[in-house]
Amino acid sequence: MLFGLFGRRNQDAELAIYSQIVAQARQPSFYTTYCVPDTIDGRFDMVLVHAVLYFRRLRGEGKKVAAFSQAVFDIFMQDMDGSLREMGVSDTRVPKKVRRMGEAFYGRAEAYSSALNDGDVAALAAAIGRNVFPDAEEPVAQEALAHYMIRAAEQLAAQQTDVLIDGQIDWPAP
C-alpha cells in the first residue's frame, strides 16, 4: 500500500473527461427536445449514453489508452457510489446498487455499440427505447436520440486519440 501512494499519478485528464461526459449528458436539450425523463434514472441513462460513446471510441487504441479509459470508468463508478451515499442509500446496499449500475453500463454498451457498428438506426432506437424510455416508448424521441448518437460517434471517430485522452472531447450539439 505504501508504494502505491508514491506511484499514484495525477488524474486531472481523467477527471476532466468524466466531467465533460457528465456535462454533455446534462444538456437541457436531452430533457426537452429528446423527451428524456428528467429523473435520476433518465440522467443516469444519459451519462451512460455518453460514456458508452466515449469508451467505444477508445476501444482498441492500445494499453496506455485502455489504462486511461479504465481510470475514467473507475471515476464514474466512484461518483455513482458517492451519489448513492448522498441520496441516503445504506452502506450495505451501495455495493449491490453500484454492481447493478455496472451491469447496466455493460448491457447498454453491448446494445448501443452493436447497433452503432452496424449503422442500424432502428436497432439503436429500439435499444434506447428499452433503456431510456422503459415506462412508455417515445418513438420520435428514440429515433432522434439514435441519430444524435450516430453523429456523436462519427464526431468522436474524427478526433485524435491524443486529444481525447488529454481532457478534451468535442461533442456535437444535441
3-class SS letters over 135-147: CCCCHHHHHHHHH
Is residue 172 a part of any domain in this protein?
no
Residue type, 157: A
Is residue 170 a part of any domain in this protein?
no
Task: Determine the pLDDT at residue 44.
Answer: 94
* DSSP one-letter code for 3: H
Measured CA to CA, the distance from residue 166 to residue 14 in angstroms comes to 8
Rounded to the nearest 5 percent, the helix, strand and coil shares of the chain are: 75, 0, 25
Task: Determine the pLDDT at residue 5.
Answer: 47
Task: Determine the pLDDT at residue 98.
Answer: 85
Consecutive sets of 10 residues in the chain, 174 residues long: mean pLDDT of each? Answer: 48 92 97 95 95 96 94 92 84 85 92 95 97 93 97 97 90 95
CA 133-137-141 angle, to 5 degrees, is 80
* Full domain range(s) for residue 137: 11-164
Tally of domains in the chain = 1
Q: Please state whether the predicted TM-score (pTM) of the whole model is above 0.85.
A: yes
Is residue 74 a part of any domain in this protein?
yes
Task: Determine the pLDDT at residue 91.
Answer: 80
Task: Report CA dihedral (27, 33, 34, 35) to the nearest 10 degrees.
Answer: 100
Task: Determine the pLDDT at residue 9.
Answer: 56
> C-alpha grid cell for residue 3?
508504494
Is residue 173 a part of any domain in this protein?
no
Is residue 171 a part of any domain in this protein?
no
Is residue 36 a part of any domain in this protein?
yes
Is residue 2 a part of any domain in this protein?
no
Is residue 53 a part of any domain in this protein?
yes
Helix (H) or strand (E) holding 68: helix 63-86
